[in-house]
Structure 1
Amino acid sequence: MQPFTELPLWSQLLVMVPLVVICLISAVTDFRERKVYNTFTYPGVIIGLVAHTLAFGWSGLGSGLLAALTVLVVGILILPFRWLGGGDIKLLAMIGAFVGFSGLYVVFFYATLVGLAMGIILSVANGYITELIKRLWLVMRAMFFSITSRTNLGVKMETDERAYLPFAIPIFFGVLLALTDAYAGWPLWLDGLRLWMSDSLL
């Protein structure tokens, strides 16, 4: 498939503008209301598939559709683990419709880095970092005793509001970083890390 930056300007804008706008709106609503609205993500999938098809042809439609469906299937499987919320999964599926597998991987890579940094900063700022360390210790202790003495300590932890991370915000910055990476490039160590992660997953 032709590289995104080599497309005509109208094709690039057709993909970039609605993608950035929908991700920005989702980041704002996730921050203010802790919710990513279906009224933006569902139409966004359709808009993304149309934009991807107009930009890349029928191969773009196949790539966008496959990326969106894969995210939804994987998202449904991991939803019980609460690694991502339903709104975040639908937002990533929409991004997949816009940019396909390769673009989605870059977006998720940067979103993960931003989310990690943001999570650490928020945990320190709101005092959750000590509770996080305590919970990690309890989990590790329970695992140790379950392995060595087959004793189930049954660690149950209440939900702490301070642990909430509006992941639509890192996703939005992931989109921005992926787009600027496509045009300007980023430090080589990031490219090396991304390639290493890609090789590790294959």
Structure 2
Amino acid sequence: MGNLMEPMLSQYLLLVLLGVAAVTDLRTYTIPNWLTGPAVLAGITLHTVTTQFTGLVFSLEGAALGFGLFVILYVCGWMGAGDVKLYAAVGSFLGPAQTISAAIGIAIVGGLLALVVLALHQGWRKIGVWLWSMVLTRSVQRLTPGQGEDPKVPYAVAIGLGTIGSYCWHL
């Protein structure tokens, strides 16, 4: 019976993690360590307890892959450290194959979210003209930010929606 409960428990814990991270990121533009650290440990522990060494390896591979994929974006300055740690935690629940699949969904949702945030910051018309010029010229022109602070993208929202979307896609 334990192995039947593990997938449901894992899914519920992951949903709670993603929900708390998204709400926190929307409010403060940060993802706290008190959330990501225990979440990585929970994913690893859950898989280890239910499937012993195989589960440990599965979870560690997912966490390492999630961290590795997003740390590149952090080093380039495109993402915060909390986002990297959050995706490592997500990877500890998903394992390696689903972590890669979810990264694709997250990239799509993250790109769309970034466009929405930019449009709200600079105006929908300016973004529309920029996108249309890209289609016509087939070249990407840098969109210079307006005056003031650069807009921030609460990427935990993209991580949550992309992860859930990729999970639903594979059912």
Map of 1:22 onto structure 2: 17
Gapped regions of structure 2 (runs ≥ 5): 131-139
The equivalent residue for 1:194 is none
Structure-1 residue corresponding to 2:153 = 165
Show the counterpart of 1:116.
Answer: 111
1:47 to 25, 37, 42: 42
Question: 5 Å matches for 1:116-195?
Answer: 116-127=111-122, 130=126, 137=141, 161-183=149-171
- Could you tell me whether the CA contact under 8 Å between 1:53 and 1:61 is conserved in 2? yes
Bigger mean CA deviation after superposition, 76-85 or 114-123: 76-85
What is the root-mean-square deviation in Å for CA atoms of aligned residues? 2.9
Partner of 1:196: none
Alignment partners' CA distance in 2, 1:41 and 1:167: 14
The residue type paired with residue 113 of structure 1 is: I
Quick one: distance in 1 between partners of 2:82 and 2:169? 26
What are the equivalent positions in structure 2 for 1:39-78 lying under 5 Å apart?
39-73=34-68, 75-78=70-73
* Separation of aligned partners in 1, 2:119 and 2:101: 28
Q: What SS does structure 1 have at the residue aligned with 2:78?
A: coil
SS in 2 for 1:51: helix
Contact 1:12 1:55 in 2 (8 A): no
Residue 159 of structure 1 deviates from its aligned partner by 9.2
CA distance in 2, matches of 1:76, 1:22: 20
TM-score, normalised via structure 1 length: 0.67
Task: Give the number of the structure whose alpha-carbon radius of gyration is greater.
Answer: 1
What is the deviation of 1:71?
Answer: 3.6
How far apart, in 2, do the equivalents of 1:76 and 1:109 lie? Answer: 16
Asked if 2 retains the 8 angstrom alpha-carbon contact of 1:52 and 1:99, the reply is no
**TM-aligned CA distance change 1:55 to 1:159, over 3 Å:** farther
- Structure 1's unaligned 5+ residue stretches are 1-6, 140-156, 184-202
| 3-state SS of paired residue (1:126) | helix
The answer as to whether partners of 2:106 and 2:161 remain within 8 angstroms in 1 is yes
Q: Output the amino acid matched with 2:16.
A: V
Distance, in Å, in 2 between the alignment partners of 1:46 and 1:95 is: 11
Residues 119-161 of structure 1: per-residue CA shift (max 9 Å, x gap): 2222223216749x6xx7469xxxxxxxxxxxxxxxxx89963
